[in-house]
Amino acid sequence: MMKVEVTIISKETIKPSSLTLHHLKPYKLTLLDQVTPATYVPTVFFYPMTNLNLDMSQIIAQLKTSLSDTLNIFYPFSGNIKDNLFIHEFDTGVPFLEARVNCSMSEFLKHLETDSLSLFVPYHAFCKETNTTIGQMAVQLSLFDCGGIAIGLSCSHKVADASTASIFLHSWAATFTRSPEKVTHPNFSEGSIMFPPRDSLPQKYIATMESLWFKEGDYVTRRFVFHEKAIATLRSKAKSELVPKPTRTEVLTCFIWKHCMAASKAKSVGPKNKSMTILVQAVNLRTRMKPHLSDASTGNIFWWAPAAADLAMEEKELHELVGLVNESIEGFDSDSAESLQGDEGFLAFSDFFNQLEDMFSAEPKPDVCAVTCWLRFFNDIDFGWGKPFWVGIMGKVGPAFRNLIIFSETPWGDGIEAWVTLEEKEMTILENDPEFLTCASLNPSI
């Protein structure tokens, strides 16, 4: 296949259509937002548009109009951050790029190179951003030769987790199809009430979180697909008296973690070889609060559940790792979530930061791997042309990042895609690990 080229042909700024935004109060960040680095998370939705007699110029115009109307409701996405405390200037707008692709969608997906997904989003993925004036979100519409389109979203993690990005995209699609009953009206106050921002946040806490997110290295991302049969086999192996019914993501998390530990151990030689690995899992706090927070609560309403292990645990059985990870998650119960609330919750956060700082300062430096699950968030975004044929969620990451696993659905719905980011030498070991590849398929055609 020829080299994929995506050429930007136009760029404009989409602003909220309502003038009443000038009278809105600034949108408060939560404490969780404050400690989350400004980095753009990429998501690309592929719509073949086959057998549809559609006017593309009309579709483009309607996408822009519906985005403008959606920003009336989700106005913080159209503003600028001030002093890591709040968002204002809601008429700043969202960049909207149009681009053309020099191939058909079927060709691109058949010969998929995951790094090329970066061509379909406006901003580089998962880079440490220092310029807070470039906005919270940007959109790129890419037109394939065949008539299919890709809608790429770059969303700042400073203002949105996967849940918030999902309700925005569903609401944009509902606005496009003129289905107001499907629009989610976001709750902008619940998060900052539960997790109030700090006027003065210790710099060492921000530095600790940046250490969790970013570390210099030669990182690469690979897409591994786990089919239903392989997942069932792993779940059967992972059962134990402690965890009789492990979830799909628990099992895959531990299976990948086990083999990442083996890769790290194989790479590390010499007197300072690594001995410790830390797995941090993103936990949605909305469903762990009492009472539950609304799914419409915006911002970063999640926190990290850490599990630490010696690298020698790569020799442990899968069910033993599942028990460790399950204990980490189950320990994050409603009492733990409640302890993070309000002004007193800052003390609990401080304890967490201090624990992380102790872990990160250990010698030799431990491996850190983050895990997040995007199942059921993005695969049904329907602008009236049907659900996306496929959703790509990574691309080429920046020079400073972190070991990361993101889970998403396969296009056919019964499997799971694992987007794994590791340092290049470790990835080379992982993608040539025969035991790992008995369950994982490396970047199959779509």
Domains and CATH numbers, the chain: 6-194 (3.30.559.10), 203-442 (3.30.559.10)
Q: Which residue has the higher pLDDT, 371 or 268?
A: 371
Q: 246 with 322: CB under 8 angstroms?
A: yes
At 361 the three-state DSSP class reads coil
Beta bridge partners of 56: none
| Side-chain half-sphere CA neighbours of 142 within 13 A | 28
**Whole-angstrom distance, CA of residue 370 vs CA of residue 393:** 16
Looking at residue 381, the DSSP 8-state letter turns out to be: -
The token pair that represents 20 in the structure block: 């009443």
Average pLDDT rounded to a whole number, residues 79-99: 94
Q: Look at residue 214 in the predicted model and tell me its pLDDT.
A: 84
Phi/psi at 398 (5° precision): -75, 175
Q: How many CB atoms lie within 10 A of CB 202?
A: 13
Amino acid at 336: S
Pick the catalytic residue from 33, 157, 161, 259.
157
**Whole-angstrom distance, CA of residue 332 vs CA of residue 340:** 11
332's CB contacts (< 8 A; 6+ apart) are 283, 288, 303, 305
Is 23 a residue of the active site? no
The token pair that represents 290 in the structure block: 């009492």
Rounded percentage of the chain residues whose pLDDT exceeds 70:
95
Average pLDDT rounded to a whole number, residues 199-212: 84
How far is C-alpha 61 from the chain's CA centre?
28
Q: Which residue has the higher pLDDT, 407 or 401?
A: 407
Pick the catalytic residue from 69, 91, 380, 382.
382
Is 351 a residue of the active site? no
Q: Look at residue 165 in the predicted model and tell me its pLDDT.
A: 97
Q: The sheet that has 441-442: what strands, in order across it?
A: 302-310, 276-284, 367-373, 403-409, 416-423, 219-226, 441-442
Radius of gyration of the chain (CA): 22
Average pLDDT rounded to a whole number, residues 21-47: 90
Q: Look at residue 22 in the predicted model and tell me its pLDDT.
A: 64
pTM: 0.94
Q: 225 with 410: CB under 8 angstroms?
A: yes
Residue 274's pLDDT band (cuts 50, 70, 90): low
Q: Which residue has the higher pLDDT, 211 or 177?
A: 177
28-37, 164-173, 193-202, 359-368: range with lowest mean pLDDT: 359-368
Looking at residue 241, the DSSP 8-state letter turns out to be: S
Average pLDDT rounded to a whole number, residues 233-245: 92
Does the structure show a pLDDT above 90 at 395?
A: no
Most confident of 122-126, 206-210, 334-338, 378-382: 378-382
Give the closest residue to 264 by CA, choosing from 251, 253, 278.
Answer: 278
**Whole-angstrom distance, CA of residue 143 vs CA of residue 104:** 9
Does the structure show a pLDDT above 90 at 361?
A: no
Does the structure show a pLDDT above 90 at 443?
A: yes
Rounded percentage of the chain residues whose pLDDT exceeds 90:
63
Q: What per-residue string of b and e applies to 367-397 under the rule 16 or more CB within 10 Å gives b? A: bbbbbbbbeebbbebbbebebbbbbbbbbbb
Q: 219 with 124: CB under 8 angstroms?
A: no
Q: Look at residue 270 in the predicted model and tell me its pLDDT.
A: 54
Q: Look at residue 144 in the predicted model and tell me its pLDDT.
A: 95
Q: Look at residue 271 in the predicted model and tell me its pLDDT.
A: 47
Q: How many CB atoms lie within 10 A of CB 274?
A: 16
Burial of 127 from C-beta contacts in 10 A (0-12 / 13-18 / 19+): middle
